[in-house]
């Protein structure tokens, strides 16, 4: 009977620890500064999107790299060559809320109007 109480106490303590840790991570993310990210998709892999990203002042210089995404469905929605916009956070390389943007018109197309 004493062993059962000890095991139950240990399980409850671990469950509480995990709950507090999860809450702390969510709270830290809510305080992290967010930025708007723009770039052009160069490749799509099961690990994420390879994007030629524009400079995001205060977060990262312009560079091409592979970024994980917050929702796996994005990998099916986005196509190579798409211009995207996403939200990024300090201390997190993941692209959140990825959206495709309309293609910019070339200078030649603009001059025809």
Domain containing 45 — which CATH number? 2.40.50.320
Predicted pLDDT at 108? 44
Same domain, 25 and 49: no
d(CA 47, CA 71): 11
Same domain, 57 and 85: yes
Q: Are 85 and 101 in contact (CB under 8 A)?
A: yes
Confidence at 19, pLDDT banded by 50, 70, 90: low
Same domain, 42 and 85: yes
Mean pLDDT of 26-51: 87
Return the H-helix or E-strand segment holding 100. Answer: strand 92-101
Query: 3-state DSSP call for residue 67?
Result: strand
Same domain, 5 and 43: no
Percent of the chain with pLDDT over 70: 71
Confidence at 1, pLDDT banded by 50, 70, 90: low
d(CA 19, CA 25): 10
- Checking if the pLDDT of 28 tops 60, the result is no
Check residue 54 and report its DSSP letter.
Answer: P
Q: Are 25 and 81 in contact (CB under 8 A)?
A: no
Number of independent structural domains in the chain: 2
Same domain, 42 and 96: yes
Predicted pLDDT at 103? 74
* pTM attached to this predicted model: 0.66
Mean pLDDT of 62-85: 96
Predicted pLDDT at 104? 66
d(CA 98, CA 107): 27
Structural domain span for residue 10: 1-31
Predicted pLDDT at 109? 46
Closest to 65 (Cα-Cα) out of 40, 86, 92: 40
Return the H-helix or E-strand segment holding 64. Answer: strand 63-67
- Checking if the pLDDT of 14 tops 50, the result is yes
């Amino acid at each position: 009977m004493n062993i059962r109480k000890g095991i139950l106490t240990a399980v409850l303590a671990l469950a509480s620890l995990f709950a507090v840790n999860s809450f702390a991570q969510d709270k830290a993310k809510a305080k992290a500064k967010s930025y708007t990210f723009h770039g052009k998709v160069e490749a799509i892999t099961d690990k994420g999107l390879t994007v030629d990203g524009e400079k995001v002042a205060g977060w990262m210089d312009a560079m091409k790299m592979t970024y994980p995404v917050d929702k796996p469905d994005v990998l099916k929605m986005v196509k190579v060559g798409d211009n995207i916009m996403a939200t990024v956070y300090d201390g997190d390389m993941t692209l959140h809320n990825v959206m495709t943007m309309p293609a910019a018109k070339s200078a030649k197309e603009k001059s025809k109007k």
